[in-house]
Amino acid sequence: MLKLFSEPGRFAGRLVGRVAAGAAALALIGAAVPAKAEDTIKIGVLHSLSGTMAISETTLKDTVLFLVDEQNKKGGVLGKKIEAVVVDPASNWPLFAEKARELITKDKVAVVFGCWTSVSRKSVLPVFKELNSILFYPVQYEGEESERNVFYTGAAPNQQAIPAVDYLMSKDGGEVKRWVLAGTDYVYPRTTNKILEAYLKSKGVKDEDIMINYTPFGHSDWQTIVADIKKFGSAGKKTAVVSTINGDANVPFYKELGNQGIKATDIPVVAFSVGEEELAGIDTKPLVGHLAAWNYFQSIDTPENKAFIEKWHEYTKNPKRTTNDPMEATYIGFNAWVAAVEKVKSTDADKVIDALPGIKVPNLTGGTAEVLPNHHITKPVFIGEIEDNGQFDVVWKSKGLVPGDAWSDFLPGSKDLEADWVKLKCGNFNTVTKKCGGA
């Protein structure tokens, strides 16, 4: 067609005829074979498939593809099949924003499921706000945020970090008195530890009984740090490590704990970013008894979980593939999005965003997850001990569902803030000044 339009003007009459004929032919082709974009509803998958976070995120990519396959077997959504568009931001935080923009503007996805680290989520936020698209974020995080275009299906601090500390302080948890807050050096561990430090001090813990340490992504030399932890724990008070170490740095960290003979009975470690997937890559025998706090474990015995695991193994053709908490959070988010789309009979972002609060979908632990006006969800809380097979034995669970709190009650700048996108239409409404914007 471009060649036709480049012909000299003296052939204009013939050109018009050829263009008309071409247009008619194209119309017939278009009628016979509808454009793929009209045949399917595209969704974006924005998870690192390479780099330091691939150890955790690759499985979430597989999870979305699995959920798409399951939904398409049911007929898709709105009578159309769902098509997943997968990109690899490669554990490169600025690249997350580039790939998000590409998914929304080039691939025309209706929604994106993605990100793991908070720095990757922070990187893409301006893109989702500018282009008015939807992100489902499936990983535990530090809170202190509620955006109109984001739905947080992982745990807020009051659904993971605070209950874990409460458990360790209790008689069942060993009545811990000294605390090591060890994390990867980025926003999630630093903000979570800021909340935990304030919480511990509100419980009477003194400065000298709190040790805080940060390491870079991919950190591998843990000998000195673990030795420092061992020394800190030798002061005669029961000591525990609260770990917000992320990604593949967990493998050498746990190995070094074993190398230096630190057992769970001596200095228990409770992790917020270590699940079945991460343990699959290491020898767990020296780690038996160490803890993790999540809202789901593969070992939880419910009909819903059993059916999910069975279908997951069938899909992956690998009976050894584990499941984990962020997978369940992805499952909840995906099904909530489908329910909202079917409710409003549209994938229009504004309509779906408005429809999501109040949506209830089953979780995998025998209950129901509800999307709240602050764009977080209700979740049970579980604390599990590592077993020698890489699974977790649940030693504590919350009495009921815990609503996700976007803003911490223990930070001065946050305790007066409320997020409500239904009535207040605001993610940081100040209940004292009665103003939106946190001021």
Query: DSSP states of 231-266 as a string?
Result: HHTTSSS-EEEEEE--GGGHHHHHHHHHHTT--TTT
Q: Which residues of 178-206 are buried (b: 16+ CB within 10 A; e: fewer)?
A: bbbbbbbebbbbbbbbbbbbbbbeeeebe
AA identity, residue 46: L
CATH class of the domain whose range is 159-294: alpha beta
Residue range 248-271: average pLDDT? 92
Lateral strand order in the sheet of 269-271: 210-215, 178-184, 239-244, 269-271, 291-294, 382-386, 392-397
pLDDT averaged over every residue in the chain: 91
What is the rounded distance in angstroms from the CA atom of residue 85 to the CA atom of residue 67? 13
Q: Where are the beta strands (DSSP E) in 246-374?
A: 269-271, 291-294, 360-362, 368-370
pLDDT of residue 38: 66
For the stretch 321-330, pLDDT in tens is 999 999 999 9
pLDDT in tens, 124-152: 999 999 999 999 999 999 999 999 999 99
HSE-CB of 358 using CA atoms within 13 angstroms: 9
User: Who's near 250: CB < 8 A, 6+ residues apart?
Assistant: 243, 271, 273, 274, 278
What is the pLDDT at residue 285?
Answer: 84
Report phi then psi at 184, rounded to 5: -75, 150
**Per-residue pLDDT at 34:** 38
Question: What is the pLDDT at residue 4?
Answer: 31
Residue 251 pLDDT grade (very low, low, confident, very high; cuts 50, 70, 90): confident
With bands split at pLDDT 50, 70 and 90, how would you rate the model's confidence at 282?
Answer: confident
- Give the right CATH number for 40-156+302-383+401-406 from 3.30.70.1560, 2.40.50.140, 3.40.50.2300, 3.40.30.10: 3.40.50.2300
pLDDT single digits (tens) 410-427: 998 899 999 999 999 999
- What sign does the dihedral 244-246-249-252 (CA atoms) show? positive
- Read off the pLDDT band of 53 (50, 70, 90): very high
Q: Per this entry, what is the length of the chain?
A: 439
Give me the residue label for tokens 């001065």: 412
Predicted confidence (pLDDT) at residue 187 exceeds the cutoff of 80: yes
* pLDDT tens figures, 325-356: 999 999 999 999 999 999 999 999 999 999 99
Enter the tokens of residue 347: 């994938």
> Partners of 292 in the beta sheet?
271, 384
Please state whether beta strands 135-137 and 150-152 pair in parallel, antiparallel, or not at all (unpaired): parallel
Asked whether 304 and 192 are in contact (CB, 8 A), the reply is no
| 28 compared with 63, residue with greater pLDDT | 63
Among residues 409, 411, 429, the alpha carbon closest in space to that of 419 is found at: 429
Task: Determine the Cα–Cα distance for residues 257 and 269; give it in Å rounded to an integer.
Answer: 10
At residue 439, the pLDDT reads: 62
What are 263's two structure tokens? 């057992």
- Please state the separation of Cα 327 from the chain's center in Å: 8
Residue-wise pLDDT for 361-378, tens only, equals: 999 999 999 999 999 999
Radius of gyration of the chain measured on its C-alpha atoms = 25
Q: Are 251 and 188 in contact (CB under 8 A)?
A: no
Contact of 133 with 111, CB cutoff 8 Å: yes
pLDDT band of residue 438 (cuts 50, 70, 90) is: confident
Residue 15 has pLDDT above 50, yes or no: no
Q: What angle (nearest 5°) sits at the alpha carbon of residue 193, between those of residues 192 and 198?
A: 105
123, with CB counted inside 10 A (0-12, 13-18, 19+), is: buried
- CA count, 13 A, side-chain hemisphere, 142: 22
**Contact of 238 with 174, CB cutoff 8 Å:** yes
CA angle 185, 188, 193 (to 5 degrees): 85
Q: Is the dihedral of CA 268, 273, 276, 281 positive or negative?
A: negative
- 8 Å CB contact between 290 and 269: yes
| Helices 54-73, 325-344: inter-axial angle, 10-degree rounding | 40
